[in-house]
Every structure is written in structure tokens, then in C-alpha cells.
Structure 1
């Protein structure tokens, strides 16, 4: 027996543009994200282009990923970019002290990253080293990448095989300075970030979009300090955006997070409630920013988000390798719904991370070399039509709720919608672990000329894809019923338990 709900969608009243950059990605030198994920080396038997794994690139191109953040994360604040240029056999080795305390050879550096972005069709988002680097070092990295005359760094780039300057718009001024990026107080970081920003200059027509490293989750005081220190003497801002990080970690904190594939129904609901609280973080950071910037000219960036479980048994703890289930897919879907609703302030988001680390969209099997598309991957793919579309208001009625053990309540349906080019996309999540829900989409304001639906689900909330069972969680076409109503057009859709669906509309 299914529950019934109604969703009113005004197709003729589009709101803020949902930036494609809300579907960004993050690749850190962590575990098997770079080495064994993106990069297999030029001597590998895995099909590759100059050492970059072809099937990973092909899979990500199907997502139209808009940007890729690199080299970290915590790794960024111990990474010195000059160690990763020039002939690979001459590059110095370094210790990755944050993630596994391993020695790496810098085989994957600036040129390899830029080639990867070109292959993906993604814009680079470079995180600079503020924690252990210098202003000069980061300034020269900008020059090396983006200047096209005969300057010293441009000449060095040409010496290393690249004549044409790259376009690199996004620059992060450090990472988590409140923690692994230096253990700084907010006032100290603001002064440091202002100094760095001063020397990060536009070169050869490349416009820098400078992102100040922001808060840990709900530290709204950090956001307040950044906004207070935003303005230069001429009134212009030092930064174009500020960031924050928010992971889905249910329970009371970082201890006892639980396994990615082994959890009960109570922990499943606790996870989804935690994920939905990300929207409160976005709203409250936005509220702080509104005090100083009511016209929303400064962007908010959530450049690390996703689930964080205990690592898979038998893997290196510092590599943060975890499986990815239907539960993770629904964590992603409710995040995207929140992103769409706050697209007037939230301009970028980056899932942590793209391959083999935390809530990955791709896994590479170390034994078979098979590429695995995770349930989270499919949510990204199903949502492509939201990129640069305009958000539509959705008003929900009759949504069922689940009461958790602590008395908190979780709405069991999550929806968002957008429109672009005489089309619309409606995303629907049924968070109920055991019961289906029927939704009547009450579509108003424009005539619907055609419709189709797709569904993502698995047998259980623990269902996940492996090399042996790559389609345990997959996408299929889904039946819908078009009905006339008093306001123009209606669509009835049945959502199975723990499922995610999209309904695409052709508008007349």
C-alpha cells in the first residue's frame, strides 16, 4: 500500500539559475583517487592516454562534469607545485603525511592535471598552498598556468612542453585553515588570505575567481569573520566567494561512523536526516553573508560534501576507501534538491571524492581493473538537465514523515525542479526504506507536450555495485500516468521504496 502526496510546480515562474558548477567534483592525492584512479601511468596495461585512464574519462564525460578541484584537501597545503613539473624521472619525491604517510613520486602534477581537465571538458579549480607555502609560490603558479607572453614562469611552462597558456578560473586560497591547513584562528586567516589575494593577479585575460577557505560545517562565526574582512580600501572585495565543508556523518560524531554496506534501518534514517540538515547549513551561512552582501554578489561554495563511513575491511585506513550504496545515492539526491533551492547564493559544490575515496561516483577494482559506476554516479547522470537551468518552486502537500528515536522527524519525500529551453526536469526521492509513495505532480502555468520518467533503485537500501554485479543498482525507464486536472496537467508517479526518479517534460 502506498502513501499519496501532491506537488504543485509552477512551470511559468522560473527563479535563480542552478549553476552547472553545483555538480562539481574533487580529486585529491588521497588513497587511490589519483594513483590507481585517474592515473595509471604510461606503462600500464589499462587503456590510457598519456597515463590517464580512458574509461574513467569517458564515464565522467557522460556526466558533463563542470569543474574538478585539485590537488586537495589537506594535501594542498603541503603540496609544492614545482615538484610536479618537468621530466617525471627528475621530479623529487614527497611524503603524503595526511593520507597514509606514504611516499609519492609526483608523477601526476600540473601538466597531467591540466590535460585531464581538457580531456574531461571541465574547468580547473586549483587549491593553493597557504599552510606551508608562500605568497610568491602561489602567485608564480598562476603565472605559470595562465600567462601567455615571455614572462619567467611562461618561459618555464614552454620549457616543459606547453606553449599556450591555460584558462584556469577557480583558485582556492588554502584549505581548512581552521584545521589541517594551519590551525589558524579566523582573524589570522582573513589577514593571510587578503595578502594572498593581493598577489593573485589576472594574467593574459584569464579572470581569477578567488575562493577564500571557509568554515567547518556550522561555524558561522568563521563566515562572519570572512565577510567582515572582505572589502579592500577601494571598496572592492578581496574574494569572489567563500567556502565551507559539510560531510554527512550520522550519530554523535566522527567515531563509530559505521560501514558503508552494513547498517540497519534506524541508521539509514539517521543518515538521511543528517544529509537533509546540510540545507540548514547553507541557509544559515547565507543569512550571515546577507548581512554584508544583501545583493548576493559573493558566492557560497560547498567544495567538500558527501558521506564518510569507516573504510572497507582490509584496506589502508588512511586511504578512505568505501563502498557506495542506494543510501549514498539518496544522500546525493537530497543534497542536490537543497542546492537547487539555494542557487541564488550557492554557486559551486564539489563531491568528495570522484574516484575510490569517500562518496565516489566511480570505483576501480584493484584486482580486475574493472570500472564500477556507483549509485551516486547515476544520480549525477540523471540530473544533467538541471545544469544552468532555472529553479522552479515546488510546493508539497501530504508528505509522510518518519519519527526517529530521538523524536526528530524526517520528510520521506524530497523534490526539486528546473526549466530550460522549453524543457523541465523534476527530481523525486522516496526516502522510505520499505514503502512506496505515490506523487501527483500538479503542473501549472505551461502546457506539457510530452513526458518521460527514469528510476534508480536496488533491492535494498544496502544494494551496491561491484565488478561481479555492476548493475545491482541501475537506471531504467519508469511508467507514469498523465491525467487532466483543474489547473492544466497532472502526472501521477509511483515511487518504489528507497528510490530516486526524474520526470522530464517537453513544454509548449
Structure 2
């Protein structure tokens, strides 16, 4: 059995891991909104004003920090005025991106803001650059956030909401290089400056504007956007005219036309998925390096507002609805990403897994036949990691030869780790990516006295294990007894294909 040492200086806290890197994404796509969050007020499924109660309860347990809406590609076809006022009078539209279905706009601005209030989540609204107008976006932020008798504030009151909402996060377009307009970055950079100017701060609503950024390895897109900022080397306040740029990256084992199966995969495909997930760390390094050249003070945030696994849809489902199962493999893809976000906490301001319910790497699956709600393995990773929210990152220095596996010509490290501290506690996250072999890790804990510890593990007998209405807890966290005292701190025996969190009580 391989034995490694991880040195963690508990008294040397680093940058804060924003809770917003644990953000979520809800697009008008398949059964994410309709049948996921929204069932309607007349539904036999228990709901509050049409919003499904058990989904809200489950997500509140994650302390969900923010929710991105209405897209995605849908955002650049969405005109917000179609989704306000009496529901029976709202115009319909065609959701051309996702299934070519007719959207009745029953779930609109007021319903989304109600959902965020029920969740205790900060809203992140994606504005329409692709088919919208500067005026349309400007009036939407006025409608949401202005307190006086302005035209849009008066319209909001006519629709039943007296007080303005707080909407700090605002997306300036989505995937402008693709479904958001097929623009060249030079075109979009000018548009982003223009639109950002008219997304104004009303009634003390401080805005964090996120310009649609790059896909995958497109460093040129990031560089041109960074060149469009105003005097980043002067002052220390918010960057202008926007404050963040986005990055999108999805994990799959095949090409776009055949992305791989969510549940039927080989051991080799297990490793391919995890190796491709580990690319996120490289992307953060490379895009971060470009940003550092223009912004050494790190005033601009990198916002990874779409990430996760993307598999072939489940058999018998609408191919445009992107419904897929979620296995232990997805959970370890998530831990690998989250560790990378922790290590880059000085630059990564927010991240949003795609998506929250019934779509792609979902937290929750709802069964249309029975109404059952299923928590996925990825959900459990997010729950196990709530201790990292707004904590200070701790460097994890690995000593010894970390076991690797050659995957597609590149070595994949089979251990992923990160740690953080807040007050009198610390949380250490450990992923053994080896499909077959356990790994022993000595936690060399320095700088503060450890008064006690508690550990949990997420694993299963098989790599493809997943939860269903019939077996809702087939993959679920359990108390872990594989942590023992050691002269240097603690010794952890990580089972194969497992995720372990160790919570430390500190003096």
C-alpha cells in the first residue's frame, strides 16, 4: 500500500474560499425548471406558491449560496417582459436550444426571485446580449432593484412586489462565442463594455457584472477581455466596467457527438473522466496567468459559471432535455474541481455546477412517474464540503511520490486534496481516485493543536453506483473510522474510489 505525507500548516491561512464557488445553475432546459423547481400551485406535489417544497428543503441543507438563471443558451433568447404579469396572459415562446418545445413563461422573474428567497440564495441573473438590447437589460435591472416611482419600479409594484430585490450578480451575455451570438471576442468585448454601462446600480444595489468569457483553452478570449478593462493597475476598488469574466468547461469521455455513458463505462473510462476533470486545474493556471499580466492585484474575478459532467442522455428521454444519471464517478469529478477552486481561491470568485435539478450533473433528480426525489452522489459532495464556505484556504504540501496513472499520454495524480480553516476548526478533503487500491496518507498537522477529529466517507462497492427512487441511499456519506492518531498528527487510510472529509477541532 502506498503511504504519503501531507503537510498542512494550520496557522498559515491563505485566501478566502468564497462560498460562491459552491453556486448552482438553473436553466430553462428539460425538467430543471418545469417538473424540477416548479410544479405549479395546483400540483399534488407539496409546494409553496408553485415551487416544490422538498427540492427547496434539500438545497437549503447545502447552504446554496447563489443560483444562476435563466441560462445558459436560453438566456440569449429570453425576453424578461414575457415572464411578468398574470401567468395566463404571458406570451409563449419556442425554446429552440433545448428540445424545441414551447415555453409558456409560467416561471419568470417574480417566481425566480421567490425561489431565491425560499432557498436563502443570492440571485445571479444572466442578461440577454445575443437577441436583446441594451435598453431591455437596463430596464430589467431597474425593475428588479429600484425603490422609488421610476417607470420600471412602478411596473413591478403593479405586478405585486412593493419592495425591490437585491440582485448583486449580473451576467453580461452567455457563451458569446457560440449560442450567445457567434461573436468574435473583439466584437463582444465592445458590447460587454456598452451593456455593462447601462446595467446600473439602483437603490444601493451593488453590482458584480460578469462578462461572458472563454470556453476551455481559449486564452485569446480571456486576453482580449482583460485588455478591455479600465486602468486595472490604478486604485483598489471594483474593476470597471465589469468585475468578472467567466469560463466554461465540461467533462466527458468521448467526442461531442458521443460523450460517453453516465452509468455504463469501463475502468479506463473512469480514469479518462477524472483526468479530463483534472484539466480544470490547468485551465485555472493558464487563464489566471493571462489575467495576472493585466491585473496583478487580482481585482477581476474568474467565474466558472458552467462546469460538470456531460454524458449521453438516458435512454428513452428527450435528447434535448440533457437528463443523465449521476454516479460515484461524477462525485469524484466534483471533488477534483472543488479542490482546484480552493487552490485558486485568490482568483476564482464564483463557480456554478451545471445543473441543479434533472439536467447534466444535477444535485437532485425528481421522478416524473412517482414524484420521488433522489439526492445524487454529487449532492453529497456539496453537503460534505459546506465547511469550506468562506473559510481560509490552507496549502496542502504532499511529500513522497504521489501515485499516478498514464491517461491519454498524461499522468493523472491519483490523490486530490485541499484544506481550509475557520475559527476553531479546519476541514481536510481527500479523494482517492484509484479504482482498485487504497492509499495511506499521514496528515502532518503543524502550527495549532488538534483537540479532536471526525471523518466521513463517500464511496460504494462499484464505480458506477448511483441512487434511484428504489435505492435512494445506495451512495451516501457514512461515518469513517479509518483515521488514527499518528506522531505527526493523523493517519488516514483512504479506500479505493473514495472521498473522505476530516473535520478538525483546533485550539
**What TM-score comes out, normalization by structure 2 length?**
0.98
Corresponding residue number in structure 1 for 2:278: 276
1:133 and 2:139 are equivalent in the alignment: no
After TM superposition, give the deviation of residue 232 of structure 1 in Å: 7.3
- Give the 5 Å matches for 1:171-190: 171-190=170-189
Alignment partner of 1:430 out of 429, 432, 455: 432
Number of equivalences: 503
- Give the 5 Å matches for 1:183-202: 183-202=182-201
1:502 and 2:501 are equivalent in the alignment: yes
Corresponding residue number in structure 2 for 1:257: 259
**Whole-Å separation in 2 of the counterparts to 1:20 and 1:399:** 32
Q: What are the Cα deviations for residues 262-296 of structure 1, in whole angstroms up to 9, with x where unaligned?
A: 00000100110000011110111110011110000
**Whole-Å separation in 1 of the counterparts to 2:106 and 2:258:** 35
Contact map agreement 2:232 2:299 (CA 8 A) in 1: no
Corresponding residue number in structure 1 for 2:342: 340
Alignment partner of 2:245 out of 229, 233, 242: 242
Contact map agreement 2:272 2:407 (CA 8 A) in 1: no
**Whole-Å separation in 2 of the counterparts to 1:242 and 1:213:** 6
**Whole-Å separation in 2 of the counterparts to 1:479 and 1:400:** 23
Q: Aligned pair in 2 of structure 1 residues 4, 124: CA closer, same or farther (>3 Å)?
A: same
Corresponding residue number in structure 1 for 2:71: 72
**Whole-Å separation in 1 of the counterparts to 2:440 and 2:405:** 20
After TM superposition, give the deviation of residue 408 of structure 1 in Å: 1.9
**Whole-Å separation in 1 of the counterparts to 2:63 and 2:96:** 33
Contact map agreement 1:270 1:404 (CA 8 A) in 2: no
1:353 and 2:367 are equivalent in the alignment: no
Corresponding residue number in structure 1 for 2:6: 7
Contact map agreement 1:84 1:110 (CA 8 A) in 2: yes
Contact map agreement 1:27 1:69 (CA 8 A) in 2: yes
Q: Aligned pair in 2 of structure 1 residues 63, 464: CA closer, same or farther (>3 Å)?
A: same
Q: Aligned pair in 2 of structure 1 residues 233, 504: CA closer, same or farther (>3 Å)?
A: closer
Contact map agreement 1:479 1:493 (CA 8 A) in 2: no
Q: What are the Cα deviations for residues 289-334 of structure 1, in whole angstroms up to 9, with x where unaligned?
A: 1111000011000000000000000000000000000000000001
Corresponding residue number in structure 1 for 2:466: 464
**Whole-Å separation in 2 of the counterparts to 1:270 and 1:45:** 43
Contact map agreement 1:356 1:363 (CA 8 A) in 2: yes
Corresponding residue number in structure 2 for 1:107: 106
Corresponding residue number in structure 2 for 1:440: 442
Q: What are the Cα deviations for residues 111-153 of structure 1, in whole angstroms up to 9, with x where unaligned?
A: 0000000000000000000000000000000000000000000
Contact map agreement 2:232 2:295 (CA 8 A) in 1: no
**Whole-Å separation in 1 of the counterparts to 2:400 and 2:231:** 50
- Give the 5 Å matches for 1:281-300: 281-300=283-302
Contact map agreement 1:214 1:223 (CA 8 A) in 2: yes
**Whole-Å separation in 2 of the counterparts to 1:372 and 1:127:** 28
After TM superposition, give the deviation of residue 496 of structure 1 in Å: 1.1
SS at match of 2:463: coil
After TM superposition, give the deviation of residue 243 of structure 1 in Å: 0.5
After TM superposition, give the deviation of residue 256 of structure 1 in Å: 2.0
Contact map agreement 2:442 2:486 (CA 8 A) in 1: no
Q: Which runs of 5+ in 1 are unaligned?
A: none
1:319 and 2:321 are equivalent in the alignment: yes
- Give the 5 Å matches for 1:4-43: 4-43=3-42
**Whole-Å separation in 1 of the counterparts to 2:233 and 2:290:** 23
1:483 and 2:482 are equivalent in the alignment: no
SS at match of 2:10: strand
1:369 and 2:371 are equivalent in the alignment: yes
Q: What are the Cα deviations for residues 237-273 of structure 1, in whole angstroms up to 9, with x where unaligned?
A: 211110110111234x312211100000001001100
After TM superposition, give the deviation of residue 492 of structure 1 in Å: 1.1
**Whole-Å separation in 2 of the counterparts to 1:69 and 1:399:** 40
Corresponding residue number in structure 2 for 1:415: 417
Q: Which runs of 5+ in 2 are unaligned?
A: none
**Whole-Å separation in 1 of the counterparts to 2:481 and 2:400:** 22
Contact map agreement 2:275 2:407 (CA 8 A) in 1: no
Q: What are the Cα deviations for residues 475-497 of structure 1, in whole angstroms up to 9, with x where unaligned?
A: 11001444342xxx411111111
**Whole-Å separation in 2 of the counterparts to 1:399 and 1:95:** 55
Two-structure CA RMSD over aligned residues (Å): 1.3
**Whole-Å separation in 1 of the counterparts to 2:411 and 2:58:** 37
**Whole-Å separation in 2 of the counterparts to 1:472 and 1:233:** 50
Contact map agreement 1:452 1:480 (CA 8 A) in 2: no
SS at match of 2:249: strand
**Whole-Å separation in 1 of the counterparts to 2:491 and 2:39:** 47
